[in-house]
Amino acid sequence: MLPDPLVRLIEELQRLPGIGPKGAQRLAFHILKTPRETTERLVDAIRDVKEQVTYCSVCNNITDVDPCGYCSNTDRDQRVICVVEEPPNVAAIEKTREFKGLYHVLMGALSPLQGIGPDDLKIKSLLQRVSNGVTEIILATNPNVEGEATAIYLARLLKPLGVKVTRIAMGVPVGSDLEYADEITMHKAMEGRREV
């Protein structure tokens, strides 16, 4: 029989996404056998994240200063906003080192089946930002049903405001074989083709 504090730790670790009962038990025993200083650093890091990390009042990205580093960076193109669903999407786009504009994080995607409608997303603040000299909105929502529905909904709202609305290209990933692409991916790849 395991001691109650260890059982409680296992139960709490299981609540984390992607951690099942065996993974939680493995992590709990790892934490148990690590030196106290290492465990205290982990506890401090978790506490610091909860106390110091917040959402940017402009773009809704995660930050420890407000406004965030992207919004306050005058070297970035203030006329172009890339709209994404969640904060990790910003990091994925930044890895490319290609995009030099600003971001807007919706904090989700439209999903009527899950009860997520337009009022549950950060759409109003996006519409307000467009009036500040924005010339292009890049819709970089996920290439799934919810992401597509969100992109179409946003395009309908934004186009009447006189701003250029674009969608990120989608299709067959580099390094993949065509035989493994599903029909939607192939359709998007054909639709987004360009001259070479």
Query: Mean pLDDT, 10 residues at a time, over the chain (196 residues)?
Result: 94 95 96 96 96 96 95 96 96 90 96 92 95 92 90 95 90 74 77 72
Residues 46 and 77 both lie in one domain: no
- Say what angle helices 4-14 and 21-33 make with each other, to 10 degrees: 130
pLDDT for position 195? 67
How far apart CA 3 and CA 195 sit, in angstroms, is 66
Residues 173 and 78 both lie in one domain: yes
Token readout for 44 is 């401090």
pLDDT for position 196? 66
Give the domain extent around 44.
Answer: 4-52
| CATH number for position 166 | 3.40.1360.10
Instruction: Please identify which residue in the block is written with the tokens 């109650």.
Output: 4
pLDDT for position 174? 75
Strand-pair category, 54-55 with 62-63: antiparallel
Q: In this structure, are residues 92 and 140 in contact, taking their beta carbons and an 8 Å threshold? A: no
pLDDT for position 6? 95
Residues 113 and 141 both lie in one domain: yes
Count of the separate structural domains present in the chain: 2
Distances (CA, A) of 105 to 2, 46, 81, 181: 43, 23, 10, 29
User: Does this model's pTM top 0.85?
Assistant: no
- Is 97 a member of any domain? yes
SS3 26: helix
How far apart CA 108 and CA 116 sit, in angstroms, is 8
Residues 80 and 173 both lie in one domain: yes
Instruction: Please identify which residue in the block is written with the tokens 């139960």.
Output: 11
- Is 145 a member of any domain? yes
- Is 194 a member of any domain? no
